[in-house]
Amino acid sequence: MATAPTPITVFHLVVLYAAGISNSAGPENPLVAACIFGLDITHSSPSHRFHAFLYAIIGAAFAILIMSFIIALYLYWSRRRKTAAPAFDQEGNPRSRPHLRPNTGSIWFKIRDLEKATSFFSHRNLIGRGGFGVVYKGILSDGTPVAVKQILDSNFEGDEEFRNEVEIISNLRHRNLVPLRGCCITDDPDHQRYLVYDLMPNGSLENHIFINSNKHPNLSWPQRKNIILDVAKGLAYLHYGVKPAIYHRDIKATNILLDEEMRARVADFGLARQSKEGQSHLTTRVAGTHGYLAPEYALYGQLTEKTDVYSFGIVILEIMTGKKAIDTSASSEVVLITDWVWKLIKVGKAEKVLDECLVENGVNPKGVMVRFLMVGVLCAHVMVALRPTIADALRMLEGDIDVPALPDRPLGNTFTALEIY
C-alpha cells in the first residue's frame, strides 16, 4: 500500500519541477513565474496595456484627490481651533477650547458660543447698561438661560488681573449672590472680556420699585422685607464669610436682582475688591454710582466695610419709600433721600415717608416698617463711626437688638449734595 507523500516531499517535487521549467525556458520567461506562483500569465495586447495604463492614471489621481481632501479638512479644523476664544489653564496659558476651572466649576466660554446664545449680541436681547458694560440675555446650547455681561470699561490692568477676579468670584457660593457661570476673553487685539451669570427671571429691583405696571406690580410688604434681609445677608457673607473680606463698592437697586421666587441676589461683582483684614483701603479711582456713594469714599477714596453699609442704607430707604436716592424733579435744588427721611423721622412723621401702597390698606405692621426706616437712616449716616456694621444692621432688622436713637447729623454744609455728587 502506497503511502501519502509528506509535505517535505511535495515541496521538493515543486522545486524540481520549477527548476526544470527554468532550465528549459530561461529564468526571464513568464512561464517560470507562472509555474512557481501558480499565476495565470498571458501575453497582453497593446490595447490591453493602454487600458491598464489608463486605469492606473485614474486610480492615482483619485488617490491624490482623497489625500488632498483629508489634508484640507485637517488644516481647516486646526485653523478653527486656533481662532476660537482661548481659555486658560492653571498656569494662565491660553487654550483653544473651553473647560471647567479647577475647584470652581466656572467655564471659559468660546466667543462663538456667546454670540450664538445672544443672537450675536442683538439689541433686542439687551437687558441692562451701566458705566462698566452692557448685559445681554441669552440661551446656551443646552437650553440654560444666562445673562452675558460685556465689560467695556474696568479697573483691570490686564488679562491676568481679570482671571484673578474671575477666580475670586467663582469661589463665592451664597443663596443671596448671583452665581457666576463662566467668562470669556476673545483672541483679537482688543481682548474683549465677558462674564456669564445665571439669568434672574424677575430682573432688577429698580424695575419693581420705580416702574409701576402690569409687568412690574407694586412689591408687597413681605416681599420688600425679604429683599432687604436678603441683601443684608449677601453683604454679610462678602464682609465676613470670605477671607480677606470683599467690598462690593456699587450696591444699588440695579445691582440687586430677583429670582423666580422674588428673593434678592446681589449682582455685578466686576467691581468687587478684596481688602486686607482690619485695614481700610485708599483707592485712586472711585467706583460706584451717584446717590449711593458714601461721603468719605466719594471725597477721599477711603474704602471700608462701612462704604457698602452706606449704600445698603440708601437701598433700604428706596425700597421703603419708593423714591430714588436723588430727587432732581425740583429744578431749584437737589434733594437727598437721606435728608428728607431723617427730617421727617426726627419730627415724628415717619409714616409720611413710607410708600403709599404700604400704608393704604392699613394691615401692614407700621412699627416694623418704621424700624426698617430707622435702620436705613442709621446705615446711611454721613459719619462713618456712627454707622453700624452690616452684621449689626442685620440683627436690628431681624429684631434681635434694639435700634439706637438716631444721632444728629453734622451742622453746616460739611457734606453738601454738590460736594458729594
Give the H or E element holding residue 180: strand 180-185
- Determine if residue 303 is left, alpha or beta; phi over 0 gives left, psi from -120 to 50 gives alpha, anything else beta: beta
Residues 6+ apart with CB under 8 A from 112: 84, 85
Instruction: Please report, as a single letter, which amino acid is at residue 18.
Output: A
Q: At what angle do helices 366-379 and 305-321 cross, to 10 degrees?
A: 140
Q: Are 270 and 151 in contact (CB under 8 A)?
A: yes
**Amino acid found at 400:** D
How big is the chain by its Cα radius of gyration, in Å? 38
CA distance 105 to 107: 7
Nearest to 231 by CA among 261, 253, 202: 253
392: annotated active-site residue: no
Q: Which of 249, 50, 240, 219 is nearest to 131 (CA)?
A: 249
Distance CA 116, CA 318 (A): 38
Measured in residues, the chain has a length of: 421
Q: Which of 295, 382, 396, 308 is nearest to 338 (CA)?
A: 382
Which residue has cell 427721611?
341
Biggest distance spanned by C-alpha atoms of the chain: 138
In single-letter form, the type of residue at position 245 comes to: A
CA distance readout (Å), 159 to 92, 101, 112, 187, 240:
9, 16, 19, 11, 28
Query: CB within 8 A of 223, min separation 6: which ones?
Result: 262
d(CA 380, CA 391): 15
Instruction: Determine the Cα–Cα distance for residues 357 and 322; give it in Å rounded to an integer.
Output: 9
Annotated active-site residue in 142, 187, 198, 250: 250
List helix spans (H) across 44-175: 46-83, 111-117, 159-170
Residue with cell 440654560: 144
Q: Which residues are catalytic?
A: 250
